[in-house]
Amino acid sequence: MAKTYEEINDKISKGKAVVLTAEEVSELAKTLSPKEIAQKVDVVTTATFGAMCSSGAFLNFGHPTPGIRMEKIELNGVRVCGGLAAVDTYVGATDCNPERPAYGGAHIIEELVAGKEIVLEAWGKGTDDYPRRHIKTLITKDSINEAYLYNPRNAYQNYNVAVNSTNEIKHTYMGTLLPQLRNAAYSTAGELSPLINDPECRTIGLGTRIFLCGTEGYVAWNGTQFHSTREVNEHGIPVTNARTLAVVGDLKQMSTDFLRAAYYEKYGVSLFVGLGIPIPVLDEDLAHRVSIRNEQIETTISDYGDGYKILGRTNYAALRSGEIEIQGRKVRTAPVSSLAKAREIADILKSWITNGKFTLSAPVRPMPTNTSVKPLTVRGFEDETGI
Amino acid sequence: MTQKMILNFPAGISGTPITYELIRVHDVKVNILKAEIQPGQIGSLLVELEGDQEKLEKAKQFLISNGVRVSPVSSKVSYDEKRCINCGNCVSACFSGALTIGAPDWKLHFNPEKCIACKLCLTACPQKLFRIEFSTIN
C-alpha cells in the first residue's frame, strides 16, 4: 500500500498530514513496525546546521549610468568573482583578502541577509558599450536585483570524526584538534541528518523543495564530490563522507538565525548553513529508512595530524555520550555542528508542512548512481608542493 | 582550594627557583597559565595554586618575603549568548571541562569554576564570541 506524492500533498493541503521529525520517528520505531509507521506517518523532517565551505551567492548589482563591465570586483574590500557578465558576481563563502583572513565572503553574505550596507567597488577597462572604468557605492540586498544562495556542496551524507595524534594543536575546519588524541570532533546530525534518512536518495533529487536558511529552497543538482558507492554498514548507511547536495534559494528571504559566517583559526572563512529536507513516507522501505537510530549510524575516525589515517570506527550514540574509545584510549568527544539548531529547523519545517504551507515535490531527475570521487594527480609538471 | 593569582617578580630574583620551592617546600600544586619572564628583568606569572588554605597562606607569605608581589585575580570568560549557535567548537577545544554541551538540550553550558583561562575558546569559536578579562581582587 504505497502512497503517492499527490496523496501526501492532498493531505498536507487539507491540514491532515501526519508529520514527525526524524528523531520523533526513530523514537516511535522502538514500538512500531515499518509497516505501521508507513500507515501512520506521511512526512518525516530532517535537518542539519553546520559549516559548509562550498557555499556562495550569485548577485546582480544592476547597471549604473554610464555603464561598467565589472572585471575586478570588491565587496567590503574582499575580491569576488569578476568572471561573469557586466554586473553579475558570485561571492564564494571562503573568498577573503589574505591580509584580513578572518573576514570574507561568508561575512558579506551574512551581512547582506541582515540587511546591512555593503561597499561595492569595481573596475573595468572601459568598452564602447560600457565606458565607465570605476565605481564605488553602497548596496543592500534590497537595492540590488537578484541575490540567491547557490551552494555546490552541502549536507554531506555522514562525515568522518577528526582527531589529532601529533604533539601539537592542529587548527582545522573540524575545529581545534588537541594533541595526543585529547579530543574527537564530529559534525553530522546523526539520526536527524537529511541524507542519512534517505541513504539511497529515493526521494531526494533535482527539484526537491527544502528548507534553506530560513526560507524555501531547492535541490539544484547532485553536490560536488558526490560519492554513491562508499562502503555501507549492515543498516545501509555509508560509513564515511558519501553523497552531497547542491542547493539554491532566495537570499533575500533568508534569516541570519539559520545562516552564519564562521572563521576557523589558521584555516579560513566558512559558512554555517541551515538545511532541512522533508522525506515522504511513501512505503515500508522509506519507513524503515527514516527509523534509523544513532547507534546504527557508524562513521570513520580519521587522524587529521597524520594524513587522515583511519584509526577506527564509531557510531553517533557513542559520539553523543561524550566519550569514545580509540585504540584502547578514552577520548572526549564534542560536536562542531549545532544539533540544537538542526532540531529547530526540523520543527519549523514540520510546522510549515503541518500548516499546509509547504508541499512536497517529487524529484524531476534522480541522483546519479555508480559515482565515486577522483583524486587530482600531478602530470606534465614536476610536483613542486611548496610545503 | 584553588586560587588564581598574578605573581610579579622584581628584577634580580628571576634566577631564584621560586616555583620549585612552592611545590617542594610548601606542597602546593602550581599550574602556570601564562608566563612572561626575562632573565634579569621584571617577570610575571599567571598561576593557579592548589592546596589547603593553610598551605596556600604560607606559600603566599613565602612569595611576599622573597619580594614577589602577589595579586589574586579572577579571570572572567564570557560569551555572547545571543549570537551563540551552540555548534560545540569551543567545547571541543575546552580540555578543562568548563564548557560543555550535551543531552537533553545540546546547548552550551559554562562552568566558570572549571575554567583555567587557557583562552582556547577565544580562537576556537567560529564567530569569535568569547571575551576574557583578568581583574585583580583587592
What pLDDT does A244 receive? 98
From the list A176, A185, A334, which residue is nearest B123 (CB)?
Answer: A176
Q: Residue B14: pLDDT band by 50, 70, 90 thresholds? A: low
Q: Residue B40: pLDDT band by 50, 70, 90 thresholds? A: low
What pLDDT does B113 receive? 81
- State pLDDT tens for residues A28-74: 999 999 999 999 999 999 999 999 999 999 999 999 999 999 999 99
Q: Is the separation of the CB atoms in B84 and B129 below 8 Å?
A: yes
For residue B92, give Cα distances in angstroms to A46, A164, A334, B83, B125.
25, 12, 5, 18, 10
Which residues on A lie below 8 Å from B91 (Cβ)? 334-335
Map out the domains of chain A as residue ranges: 5-53+151-354, 62-144
| Structure-block grid coordinates of residue A54 | 562550498
* Average pLDDT, rounded, for chain A: 97
Please compute the mean of the pLDDT values over residues A323-343 and round it to a whole number: 97
What pLDDT does B70 receive? 87
Q: Is the pLDDT of residue A386 over 90?
A: yes
Half-sphere exposure of A158 (CA within 13 A, CB side): 32
Which amino acid is present at A385? Answer: T
| Structure-block grid coordinates of residue A349 | 519545517
What CA–CA distance (Å, rounded) separates A150 from A218?
A: 10
Alpha helices in A284-375 (DSSP H): 284-290, 316-320, 339-354
Q: Shortest Cα distance from B18 to chain A (angstroms)?
A: 29
Per mean pLDDT, which range of A186-200, A272-286, B39-53 is the poorest? B39-53
Q: Is the pLDDT of residue B41 over 80?
A: no
What is the distance between the terminal CA atoms of chain B, rounded to a whole angstrom? 19
- Report whether the peptide linkage leading into residue B17 is cis, meaning its omega lies within 30 degrees of zero: no
- State pLDDT tens for residues A312-327: 999 999 999 999 999 9
pLDDT > 90: percent of chain A:
99
Which amino acid is present at A210? Answer: I
| Structure-block grid coordinates of residue A296 | 546504527
Query: Is A338 close to B106, i.e. CB distance below 8 A?
Result: yes
- Report whether the peptide linkage leading into residue A66 is cis, meaning its omega lies within 30 degrees of zero: yes
Please compute the mean of the pLDDT values over residues A188-199 and round it to a whole number: 98
What pLDDT does B118 receive? 83
Query: Is A332 close to B85, i.e. CB distance below 8 A?
Result: no
- State pLDDT tens for residues B111-127: 988 888 888 999 999 99
Q: Is the separation of the CB atoms in A348 and B114 below 8 Å?
A: no
Contact status of A335 with chain B (Cβ, < 8 Å):
yes
Contact status of A341 with chain B (Cβ, < 8 Å):
yes
Which amino acid is present at A253? Answer: Q
Query: Is A341 close to B126, i.e. CB distance below 8 A?
Result: no
Chain B, residues 64-93, CB within 8 A of chain A, namely 85-89, 91-93
DSSP code at position A214: T
Query: Is B126 close to A262, i.e. CB distance below 8 A?
Result: yes
Contact status of B95 with chain A (Cβ, < 8 Å):
yes
In this prediction the ipTM stands at 0.95
Q: How many residues does chain B have?
A: 138
Which domains does chain B show, CATH number per domain? 2-67 (3.30.70.260), 77-130 (3.30.70.20)
pLDDT > 70: percent of chain A:
100
> What is the largest distance, in Å, between two alpha-carbon atoms of chain A?
73
Please compute the mean of the pLDDT values over residues A140-150 and round it to a whole number: 98
| Of A118, A103, A152, A119, nearest in space to A270 by CA | A103
| Of A362, A114, A349, A155, nearest in space to A251 by CA | A114
Query: Is B93 close to A320, i.e. CB distance below 8 A?
Result: no
Q: Residue A211: pLDDT band by 50, 70, 90 thresholds? A: very high
Contact status of A170 with chain B (Cβ, < 8 Å):
no
pTM, two decimals, is: 0.90
- State pLDDT tens for residues B68-97: 888 888 778 899 999 999 999 999 999 999
